[in-house]
Amino acid sequence: NAGVTQTPKFQVLKTGQSMTLQCAQDMNHNSMYWYRQDPGMGLRLIYYSASEGTTDKGEVPNGYNVSRLNKREFSLRLESAAPSQTSVYFCASSGPLLAGGSHSYNEQFFGPGTRLTVL
C-alpha cells in the first residue's frame, strides 16, 4: 500500500497562473483533507471532504477550489496563484472513528507534501 500520494513534489508558478495539486489514497478512507503549512503557523485546513461527493470549507479556503473525483482522489486547484499561496501543501485521509463515544478520533494519514512557490 502506498498510503497517501501527492503530485507534484515541487512546483514554481508565476502570479496569475493556475494549477491543480493531485492527491490519492489507497486505504479506502471516506474522509480527505487539504492543509497548508507555513512557518510558525502549523497546519491550517483549506478544504475537506467527509465522503465521496461532498466538500466543505476549512479555515483558509479563499483562493482555492477542490474536487472529490472519486473515493480515492481529492484535488486542490489554484485558479490564479498569488505569492501569498507560497507554502507546503499536505493532503491527508482518515478512516472510521477509533475508540468510542466522546473520546473517539480519526487518525489522519498524511502525504509527503507539495512545495509550491509563487513568484
Nearer to another protein, 17 or 37 (CB): 37
Backbone φ and ψ for 102, nearest 5 degrees, come out as -75, -5
Q: How far apart are CA 93 and CA 62, in angstroms?
A: 21
How far is the C-alpha of 29 from the C-alpha of 91, rounded, in Å? 13
Among 102, 116, 118, 119, binds another protein (CB under 8 A): 102
CB 78 within 8 A of CB 18: yes
Site for another protein in 33-72 (CB under 8 A): 33, 40-45, 48, 50, 58-59
Binding positions for another protein, rule: CB under 8 A = 4, 31, 33, 40-45, 48, 50, 58-59, 90, 92, 94, 97-99, 102-108, 110-113
